[in-house]
């Protein structure tokens, strides 16, 4: 019997559940699974408090209203909460990451890691918005819809990930 307290959850079960989640997303609100647009939704609302004219910018306007946009925000929050719950239930530890930060990149303190993590996250988000979708949007939803652009984006994402892994292994 499968338990939520296991250190590693079955990628097959997770893949099936994510795949099945696509069905209500398309049927109920006519949208695909994705995460990067949720950042545009939240940023657009925050920017709208400072300058209401933000709502007039086409890029933000299409992300400010509708269940589709808040569904993706809820998805991102759910992913973060689910990851935290999984780590808590399984007692998982990640000592390998501290090794990468300290030995691989020469950064040993939390105060040094946070700015780097923020900049890296921003670069990833910027790239996702340029690609008009993130790994979950292109990899899960785009490929499920047989979108050629998604096949190209996912191939580029894997190539970038492999290159980064090889670089960090050398460093």
Global pTM value = 0.69
Q: Distance between CA atoms of 127 and 118, rounded to whole angstroms?
A: 14
Sequence length of the chain is 171
**In the prediction, which pLDDT does 152 show?**
92
**Confidence check: pLDDT of 39 > 80:** yes
116 and 108 in contact (C-beta within 8 Å)? no
Segment 45-53 mean pLDDT: 88
Segment 48-77 mean pLDDT: 85
User: E strand or H helix at 76, and its extent?
Assistant: helix 67-90
- Token digits of residue 43: 């940023």
**In the prediction, which pLDDT does 12 show?**
86
- Token digits of residue 56: 């007039």
**In the prediction, which pLDDT does 116 show?**
77
- Token digits of residue 110: 């939390």
Q: Distance between CA atoms of 40 and 59, rounded to whole angstroms?
A: 9
| Region of poorest pLDDT, from 17-21, 61-65, 71-75, 105-109 | 105-109
Q: How far is CA 5 from CA 10, 91, 93, 171, in A?
A: 12, 8, 13, 35
User: How many of the other CB atoms lie within 10 Å of CB of 136?
Assistant: 20
**In the prediction, which pLDDT does 163 show?**
95
Per-residue pLDDT tens over the stretch 101-130 = 555 555 666 666 678 778 888 888 888 888
**In the prediction, which pLDDT does 151 show?**
93
Per-residue pLDDT tens over the stretch 76-108 = 898 888 888 887 887 776 655 555 555 555 566
**In the prediction, which pLDDT does 140 show?**
82
At residue 32's C-alpha, the angle toward residues 136 and 27, to 5°, is 145
**Confidence check: pLDDT of 159 > 90:** yes
**Confidence check: pLDDT of 166 > 90:** yes
Q: How far is CA 60 from CA 38, 57, 79, in A?
A: 11, 6, 24
> By C-alpha distance, which of 22, 32, 25, 36 is closest to 132?
36
């Amino acid at each position: 019997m499968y338990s939520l307290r296991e250190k590693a959850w079955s990628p097959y079960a997770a893949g099936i559940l994510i795949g099945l989640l696509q069905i209500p997303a398309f049927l109920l609100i006519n949208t695909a699974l994705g995460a990067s647009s949720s950042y545009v939704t939240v940023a657009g609302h925050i920017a709208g408090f400072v300058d209401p004219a933000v709502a007039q910018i086409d890029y933000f306007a299409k992300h400010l209203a509708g269940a589709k946009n808040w569904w993706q925000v809820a998805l991102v929050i759910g992913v973060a909460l689910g990851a935290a719950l999984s780590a808590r239930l399984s007692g998982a530890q990640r000592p390998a990451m501290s090794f990468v930060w300290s030995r691989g990149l020469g950064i040993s303190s939390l105060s040094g890691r946070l700015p780097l993590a923020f900049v890296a996250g921003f670069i990833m988000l910027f790239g996702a918005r340029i690609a008009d979708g993130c790994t979950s949007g292109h990899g899960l939803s785009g490929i499920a819809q047989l979108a050629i652009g998604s096949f190209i984006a996912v191939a580029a994402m894997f190539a970038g990930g492999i290159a980064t892994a090889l670089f960090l292994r050398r460093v």
